[in-house]
Amino acid sequence: MPAQNQEIYVIILSAIALALLLVGFIVTMLFLYQRRQHRQEKQLVRMKDQYQQELLQSQLEIQEITFKTIAQELHDNIGQVLSVVKLSLSILPLEKDHQAYESVQTCRQMLNKVIYDMGNLTKSLHTDRITQIGMLEAIRFDIDGLRRTGLLEVELDVIGEEYRLEDQRSIFIYRMFQEMMNNILKHSKATLVNIVINYSIDNKFVLKVEDNGVGFDIEKKRTQASSSSGIGLKSMTNRASLIGAEISVQSQPGKGTSIKVEVPLE
């Protein structure tokens, strides 16, 4: 009997040991499976983020090519047609006492303004020009144009010594600046805009635009269902993301708006 009991104990202990090994095996396999799943999920997230970044990059590159094409068309085709019309008006054999003289002179003045404004628009759209003259000079050019309209007062403060950023960063920052000014003109009802461009901060470029307009509710703007609502903010955020910049927006109804773009130089 003792020998038989000993055999039973051995069988029971062996069974317990096998059960424990089996449980350990199952737990280990579950742990490895979960770890593998987690790794795959992280990889899928990275791939998705990378795909979204590449898609966004492609969209913005296509947009810049479109801007460049439009600028070229305006300059080469429409600009030439307007110049021919202007020349034709200038050689009309009209004396000052002719009844159509004043109307023709008015048309010539209007045509001159259209040609001038179209030239400015062409310069703002053409990507190569931005990289050639530099982002700061392109911003100054736009500011001068805004001042001439008399729609609002624009102050520019450049801190530190100017340096060149990479072409893509220069173009994207300039486009963000254009979007800010466009939003101010369309929505803010501002009378004063303060622009600060700071080159003096170590390892960081900063662009800040403030206005004294009506302001807005930031969260409401971001969550509105309207298809056109918040597009400007989204566009600026997308461009900032692609050049590793941080963009912060501060605004309240009745208290104006402040937008700051910080670009790490490394």
The single-letter DSSP state of residue 259 is E
205 CB-contact burial (10 Å; exposed 0-12 / middle 13-18 / buried 19+): buried
The topology under which CATH files domain 134-266 is Heat Shock Protein 90 (3.30.565)
DSSP-derived pairing of the beta strands 257-264 and 246-251: antiparallel
- Residue 54: predicted pLDDT: 61
Q: What is the DSSP string of 45-85?
A: HHHHHHHHHHHHHHHHHHHHHHHHHHHHHIIIIIHHHHHHH
Q: Where are the beta strands (DSSP E) in 78-222?
A: 153-159, 192-198, 204-211
Q: Which residues, 6+ apart, have CB-to-CB distance to 252 below 8 Å?
A: 215, 217
Q: How far is CA 167 from the centre of its chain?
A: 15
Phi, psi (deg, nearest 5) at residue 170: -60, -45
- Residue 168: predicted pLDDT: 84
Which value, to the nearest 10 degrees, does the dihedral of the CA atoms of residues 41, 47, 53, 56 take?
Answer: -100
Give the domain ranges of the chain: 1-125, 134-266
- Residue 225: predicted pLDDT: 47
Unique residue bearing structure tokens 């403030």: 210
pLDDT tens digits, the chain, 266 residues: what are they? 555 555 555 556 555 655 555 556 566 665 665 566 556 556 655 655 565 556 666 666 666 666 666 656 665 566 566 666 666 666 667 677 777 777 777 777 777 777 666 666 666 666 777 888 888 998 998 898 888 878 889 999 999 999 988 888 888 898 889 889 888 888 888 999 999 999 998 899 999 999 999 998 887 776 664 545 566 788 788 888 888 899 999 998 988 999 999 999 87
The single-letter DSSP state of residue 213 is S
pTM above threshold 0.75: no
- Residue 16: predicted pLDDT: 60
- Residue 100: predicted pLDDT: 72
- Residue 163: predicted pLDDT: 92
- Residue 227: predicted pLDDT: 46
Which value, to the nearest 10 degrees, does the dihedral of the CA atoms of residues 149, 150, 152, 158 take?
Answer: 70
DSSP percent split of the chain into helix, strand, coil, nearest 5: 65, 15, 20
- Residue 149: predicted pLDDT: 79
Unique residue bearing structure tokens 């056109």: 228
Rg of the chain over CA atoms, in angstroms? 32
